[in-house]
């Protein structure tokens, strides 16, 4: 008799042996007190400070956003009633898509249940609809984009990360066939930024369509939070802009923006859209409130950037191996899966600081790290406590420190 359970147990044992088994902390975020939270430890609830949330601006606790969600749920109920194909468009989703199209200067937008689904579904559908399409994909693209490329069934060519010469070589070799370039604006593990204008120059020169993932940039950059493309004045040059409401906007859901024809084609042909239950009206209303707020307010972005810069300076000043980035992402390099997990466990249990380890396959083996995301509500005292805790952990685990540099005030 086949022992099916043994297959799963063996797979988990292999994961444990590779130190890649993921353990999720039981945490309660506390609205109005973020980044403070409660950790339900084996010994009972303990207060902690969260340093790895993708709610980059703390909009998940913004009173306009929470009020919009609660009031809409009271009026319209909790669920959407099904797929949009069956239950129709809830009015808050119609308003949200108009708000997103306006944010990116596009004709139309299409909302999905997550940023993963919008990438996976959007890329695969677009490429399948283009005859003989070649997809040119950055080597460090997110798994959702890689899956979209794979599920398209189209030919692909992977260009070295942000390598314009390599991209041009591939474009030249492709000749006159239709081409789709897919890339990100902010790469979330290394915190670096794509050369958007230069990629658009190549796309125009070689007749390629462009698709950019701005999930780690929307809300964070640009005068109205439209992302790196808005900051660089490049939104009009990009054919499709993808984003999320689950990070800087503090809610959930993914989206695509572009021309009416492209959005309608995805709406009409994408299984991931057609057969997925729509976002609840209350979630759509909360996302719209957050987007509207961040279009008009830059204070959250400015404070976040100040605290991110201070965090980098203080950690570097303490001799910690901080990867230099031009964005809000602060990677502290460990380089070993077991040590990375041990560091995170010690930070949580001894110092009440919550940071998740980043291991393979999210990053290549040997580049394991802590990924720190300072927010506008992390105070200077929080930053100083983080630096002291990290130094204690690095010393206790005998991890290498670097020569100290003078921290800026």
Could you read off the pLDDT of 275-315 as tens digits, one per residue? 999 999 999 999 999 999 999 999 999 999 999 999 999 99
What is the Cα 366 distance to its own chain's centre? 22
The predicted pLDDT at position 334 comes to 95
- pLDDT range class, residue 15, cuts 50, 70, 90: confident
- The partner residues of 66 in beta bridges, in order of sequence, read none
What is the Cα 126 distance to its own chain's centre? 21
The whole-number average pLDDT for the span 344-367 is 93
The predicted pLDDT at position 176 comes to 96
Judge whether residue 217 has pLDDT over 60: yes
Q: At what angle do helices 115-129 and 143-152 cross, to 10 degrees?
A: 30
The predicted pLDDT at position 18 comes to 79
Name residue, tokens 């191996």: 321
Active site residue 312: no
Name residue, tokens 């802590």: 370
Q: pLDDT tens for residues 67-119? A: 999 999 999 999 999 999 999 999 999 999 999 999 999 999 999 999 999 99
- pLDDT range class, residue 405, cuts 50, 70, 90: low
What's the rounded Cα separation, in Å, for the pair 25 and 239? 40
Three-state secondary-structure class, residue 357: strand
Kindly provide the residue ranges of all beta strands, DSSP E only, lying in 86-154, ordered along the sequence: 108-112, 134-138
- DSSP string for 267-314: HHH-HHHHTSBPPPHHHHHHHHHHHHHHHH--HHHHHHHHHHHHHHHH
- pLDDT range class, residue 407, cuts 50, 70, 90: very low
- DSSP string for 43-87: TEEEEEEE---S-TT-GGG-HHHHHHHHHHHHHH-S---SBHHHH
Q: pLDDT tens for residues 248-273? A: 999 999 999 999 999 999 999 999 99
- pLDDT range class, residue 348, cuts 50, 70, 90: very high
Q: Which of 179, 247, 312, 341 is catalytic?
A: 247
């Amino acid at each position: 008799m086949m022992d099916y359970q043994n297959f799963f147990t063996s797979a988990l044992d292999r994961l444990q042996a590779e130190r890649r088994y993921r353990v999720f902390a039981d945490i309660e975020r506390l609205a109005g007190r973020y980044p403070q939270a409660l950790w339900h430890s084996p010994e009972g609830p303990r207060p902690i400070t969260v340093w790895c949330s993708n709610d980059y601006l703390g909009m998940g606790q913004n009173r306009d956003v929470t009020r919009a969600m609660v009031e809409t749920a009271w009026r319209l109920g909790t669920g959407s009633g099904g797929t949009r194909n069956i239950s129709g468009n809830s009015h808050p989703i119609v308003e949200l898509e108009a708000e997103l199209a306006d944010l990116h200067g596009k004709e139309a937008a299409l909302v999905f249940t997550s940023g993963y689904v919008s990438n996976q579904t959007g890329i695969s559908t677009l490429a399948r609809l283009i005859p003989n399409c070649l997809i040119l994909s950055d080597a460090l693209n997110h798994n959702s984009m890689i899956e979209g490329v794979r599920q398209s069934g189209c030919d692909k060519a992977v260009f070295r990360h942000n390598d314009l010469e390599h991209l041009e070589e591939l474009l030249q070799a492709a000749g006159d066939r239709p081409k789709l370039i897919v890339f990100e604006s902010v790469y979330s593990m290394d915190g670096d930024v794509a050369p958007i204008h230069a990629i658009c120059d190549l796309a125009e020169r070689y007749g390629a369509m462009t698709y950019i993932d701005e999930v780690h940039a929307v809300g964070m950059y640009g005068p109205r939070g439209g992302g790196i493309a808005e900051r660089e004045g490049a939104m009009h040059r990009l054919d499709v802009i993808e984003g999320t409401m689950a990070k800087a906007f503090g809610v959930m859901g993914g989206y695509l923006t572009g021309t009416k024809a492209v959005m309608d084609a995805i709406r009409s042909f994408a299984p991931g859209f057609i057969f997925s239950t729509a976002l609840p009206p209350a979630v759509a209303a909360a996302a719209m409130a957050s987007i509207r707020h961040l279009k008009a307010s830059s204070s959250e972005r400015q404070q976040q950037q100040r605290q991110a810069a201070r965090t980098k300076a203080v950690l570097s000043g303490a001799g910690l191996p901080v990867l230099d980035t031009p964005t809000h992402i602060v990677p502290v390099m460990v380089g070993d899966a077991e040590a990375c997990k041990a560091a995170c466990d010690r930070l949580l249990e001894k110092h009440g600081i919550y940071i998740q380890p980043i291991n393979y396959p999210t990053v290549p083996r040997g580049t394991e790290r802590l990924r720190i995301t300072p927010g506008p509500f992390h105070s200077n005292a929080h930053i100083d406590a983080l630096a002291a805790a990290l130094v204690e952990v690095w010393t206790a685990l005998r991890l290498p420190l670097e020569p100290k540099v003078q921290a800026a005030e």
